Chain A
Amino acid sequence: MSRSQPESRVLVTIAAIGGALALTVLLLTFVSSTPQAALRAFFLGPFSNRYYLGNMLNIFSTLAITGLGMAIAFRAGVFNLGGEGQLYVSALTATMTGLALASLPVMLGLPIALSVGILTGAVIAGLSGVFRYLWDTDELITSFLIASACIPIVDYLIVGPLKDQASNLLTTERVPEAFRLPRLLAPSQLNPTLIIALLLLVVAYIALFRTVRGYEWRLSGLNRQFARYGGIHTGVYIIVPMVVSGALHGLAGGLFVFGTHYATLVGFTAGLGWNGIAVALIAKRHPLGVIPAAAAFAYLESGAHIAMLHTDFTFELGTIIRAVIFLFVTATVLPHSDIAARMSGRVRPFSRKRQT
């Protein structure tokens, strides 16, 4: 679908990112009272010490898993817009399981707790897959709706019955000390999630591109009618990709608790699901493309965070910069993709009806 030569596209991309950065500089210089310090903190901050570097890598880890969860669903031609809620609910169920199993040995309790998180995400997302399989309801909308319905319920549980009475934050109790993943680059929040994320990306790459099932998976996404014609059970490749996508969000939620926060806080996953979609789209739905895409995201996120701590840089400024970069990056990296077409419901003339 590429409309122009690859080299020229790379050039345009570089120019666009350059433009966005220039705009950032301009904005900071104009707004900040200490523009130099703000700029330094924003651009160099993430690399200035172990703590910031570790935190950036930690943001990367979570985004890589959610981004992969989205990319892998897109590859099968299904759309999970409920990542946000799946992550949040799974974090809570994993936390509660961890608290309940506190007496078990870590090697038993932690895997169970994470599995519960994975299962939660898988079920929530899988529902949309099943609904589409059975009744042809658009999974794009149902996944969004179901997840949106879950968020206020989790909010309520954390604020209400499950609130840690000892804390004045809106949070659940913290999971037992023993269950917490070790910190890799203390004092930063970096933890083994990073390793798990990288492993998952490689595994997903192999599974998608080097296995028979992956072949069927991708074919179902590229042309479902052709896949069905070729004897592929295409119904499976509606439900399973949704389940896997949800499971990855569930895992991300669980790891977010046991690796980073040790509890579920109100709204602590906000944006992770949406950013996962953005990561997946910028990565062109490729598992390995998720690495640079998630890295770029993590860099911006932590740069903004550091600048906020040290200068008069505001949270909103970070959001605006991110928005501007979103606009520019997508404008050039991604030509009108099939996803855009699918999302806008464009129909091929005389193509047969979608078959399950």
Chain B
Amino acid sequence: MDLRHITKRYPENDVLAVRDVSLELRSGEIHALIGENGAGKSTLMKIAAGLLSSYDGEVRSRATDVCRLVQQHPQFIPHHQVWENLFLGIEPRTRWGLLNQEAAVRDFSALAGRYAFPVEPRMRAEGLSAAQAQLAAILGALLHNPDTLILDEPTAPCSDHETALVFEMMRSLRDDGRAVVLITHKLREVMEVSDRITVMRHGRVVGSLLTADTTPNELSSLMIGEDYQHSSSDRRFGVLRIDSGTAGRRSPVEKQDLETATAQTSPPNFQIPESRADPVFELREVSLVRRGRTLLERLNLKLYPGEILGVTGIRENGLEYIEDILSGSTEPNSGEVRIQGSRPSRYTPRAFRKLGLAYIPTDRLMRGASLSSSVEDNMILLDRKRFGRAGLLNRRASAHFSSALQQKFGITAVLGNPMHTLSGGNMQKVILSRELSQHSPVVVFSEPSWGLDFRSSERIHDEILRLSETGVGIILISSDIDEILSLCDRIVVMYKGNFARTLHGDERVRDTIGELMLGIEPEHSQSGAPGEAGVPQAPGEIESKDSAKGYGQ
């Protein structure tokens, strides 16, 4: 397939997404398309796949060629079975024209088996984890037997194991003589799997190289542009060090711009605790059972002030449920939650927030934002009561507040515009600015850098570190091992609804985490019984070095 001089302008917001780009996709090659968010990668590939119609330029391919694009957030119909979703439009029929379910399931299972993708065709799509949904969407594209397969950030929701499966599939397609395109901004993946790399920035191609001839550093400077001053480049490239060993906490090099983001905007609603000896957040024997399945089993966890506690694992091993439990979105079936020593009155986000919890959710679009409301209305959500004067909303005060937040966090947006006009990075900043304006002593971050580019995720990481230095207790839920490794003091690895192990100090090694995530007990196992995270309480338990208490005292 050959793309010639493609230019695409979105008339709604007059954005020139792709400017005069030419690109050749060869069969038998894995072609990586990299660039920051908004560089035009996805738009270009939608054009290649024929999903966008009005553009300038020319797409050349053989008429018989099939090109399939697997989009970033695959859409499924939750109540339909997986095969019903994937065979839409290419339904196998019986002799009488009826749906041939057996044939569909058989074909699907054969395909899934070939690549060892753990997806069950008769399962309802709502039961798929994000990673499984991604794998299912890839299989769905493969059912069309494409000559060109384009994958847009396919590994975003995947663990290392699933990423390896996807890469294996890509290689096998390449060896089969097909063209594979990988859109990503994870340089490690690019270096690992691709044959050829095209770098895009601001809608243009700024470089086209063979993977063998380039280095991550060269790619990253192409992506980001020469003018960018690295603020803490060590951490950014720490991401590339696959065997980074004991990646530890790294202090941000600079934080002058991002000092207490809200000192001028609002009086603190909460006191950051002076004493660091008492936990600010606790789970005691928390279990969650739904539809007869135990999703979380008797979890214990203690979080101390100034500590960053990482929770990681493969997502369907309970990561999304722990997010709901920690934020008060779901009521556990047994056990209790304590925030600053008190039990919340109910298991609602409202009660949790009252006790001093802030929460940055994974689902930014539905839970973290109201897309059709203005940016300002999104910002004032938690402070709304403060802008009430005898019940009336003081719009001047709220506008002042939001523009102060906007400045502090460097949010590029018109405050009166609806939230959905914002880029992913700015949207996350809005959420962050709102949550941090509360000065809550406990902050739960869930997948804070999902889908964000380097610069945005870096700012968020800096903010997390800065917060912990002020004494805020932080729980970081993330399936990105590098993120966890570079930020956290203590790491809890989840496996099948349990805390497989708590890792302290030198144990925080990439390989160990990877094995624990898959349920393999590492050989050098020493401390932390299953179901335990935090300081062992029961007598007889092995006393582990408590980095939390050690830190900050």
Contact = CB atoms under 8 A, between A and B. Distances in A.
Interface string A289-311: 00000000000000000000000
A231 B75 CA distance: 29
Contact of A229 (B73, B359, B373, B385): B359
A231 B369 contact: no
Contacts of B384: 212, 215-216
Nearest to A351: B366
B417 to A, nearest CB: 14
A210 B353 contact: no
Nearest to B11: A5
A219 B381 contact: yes
Contact of B76 (A214, A225, A228, A350): A350
A216 B350 CA distance: 13
B353 A212 contact: no
Interface string B44-79: 000000000000000000000000000001011111
What is the interface residue range for chain B against chain A? 35 or more
Interface string A29-52: 000000000000000000000000
B94 interface: no
B75 A223 contact: no
A231 B393 contact: no
Nearest to A222: B370
A233 B393 contact: no
Contacts of A349: 75-78
Interface in A255-296: none
Contacts of A229: 327, 329, 349, 359, 361, 367-368
B377 interface: yes
A230 interface: yes
Interface string B353-366: 11000010101001
B391 interface: yes
Nearest to A230: B381
B518 interface: no
Contacts of B263: none
A195 interface: no
A231 B383 CA distance: 11
A35 to B, nearest CB: 46
Contacts of A213: 391
Interface in A313-356: 347-352
18 contacts: A215-B380, A222-B373, A223-B370, A226-B367, A226-B368, A226-B370, A228-B329, A228-B348, A229-B327, A231-B348, A231-B349, A232-B350, A233-B350, A349-B75, A349-B77, A350-B73, A351-B366, A352-B366
Given A225-B366, A352-B367, 10 more contacts: A219-B373, A223-B372, A229-B329, A231-B353, A231-B382, A347-B79, A348-B366, A349-B77, A350-B126, A352-B366
Interface of A: 1, 206, 210-216, 218-219, 222-223, 225-233, 347-352
Sorted nearest first, the 9 A-B pairs with minimum C-beta distance are A231-B350, A230-B381, A212-B388, A223-B370, A349-B75, A231-B353, A226-B370, A222-B370, A229-B367
Interface of B: 73, 75-79, 126, 133, 327, 329, 348-350, 353-354, 359, 361, 363, 366-373, 377, 380-382, 384-385, 387-388, 391-393, 395
